[in-house]
Amino acid sequence: MTQNGHQPAPLVKGTFPPRAAARLARLFYVAEGAKAAAQAAANAAQQAELAFRGALQEECAELEVQAPPGRADTSIDFKTGAFAFYEAQG
C-alpha cells in the first residue's frame, strides 16, 4: 500500500466516493498504527528477553553454575529460587 506515492502505470484506475475514501483512510491509518504498535511490542519483548538472559547468566556465574550452551529451556520457581535447565524442546 502506498499513499499518494509514485507507481508504474495502473492496472485499474478509478475514484472512490468521498465517504468510501474517508473510510479507507481511517482503516489504513488504524492498520499502520497497529503495525507500529506490534513492532514496538516485539522490540520491547526482545529487549526484555535479552535482559532476562543476561541476568540469568550473571546469577549462574555468581553460583558458579554453568548454564548449558546454546538454547535450553529453563524452569525457575520464583518463590523458592529452585531452577533447572532442560534440553530445548522447540
Report pLDDT for 75: 95
Range of the domain at 39: 18-87
User: Looking at the domain assignment, is residue 42 inside a domain?
Assistant: yes
User: Looking at the domain assignment, is residue 3 inside a domain?
Assistant: no
Report pLDDT for 46: 97
User: Looking at the domain assignment, is residue 12 inside a domain?
Assistant: no
- Read off the pTM: 0.67
Q: What percent of the chain has pLDDT over 90?
A: 74
User: Looking at the domain assignment, is residue 7 inside a domain?
Assistant: no
Q: Which three cell numbers stand for residue 88?
A: 530445548
Q: Which of 85, 52, 46 is nearest to 68 (CA)?
A: 85
User: Looking at the domain assignment, is residue 6 inside a domain?
Assistant: no
User: Looking at the domain assignment, is residue 51 inside a domain?
Assistant: yes
Neighbouring CB atoms inside 10 A of 83's CB total: 16
Answer whether residue 2 shows pLDDT above 80. no
Q: pLDDT (tens digit, 9 = 90+) per residue, 33-51?
A: 999 999 999 999 999 999 9
Kindly give, in sequence order, each residue whose CB lies less than 8 Å from that of residue 61, ignoring residues fewer than 6 positions away. Answer: none
Handedness of CA 42, 43, 44, 45 (dihedral sign): positive
Domain tally, the chain: 1
User: Looking at the domain assignment, is residue 10 inside a domain?
Assistant: no
Report pLDDT for 8: 84
Alpha-carbon gap, residue 14 to 46, rounded angstroms: 43
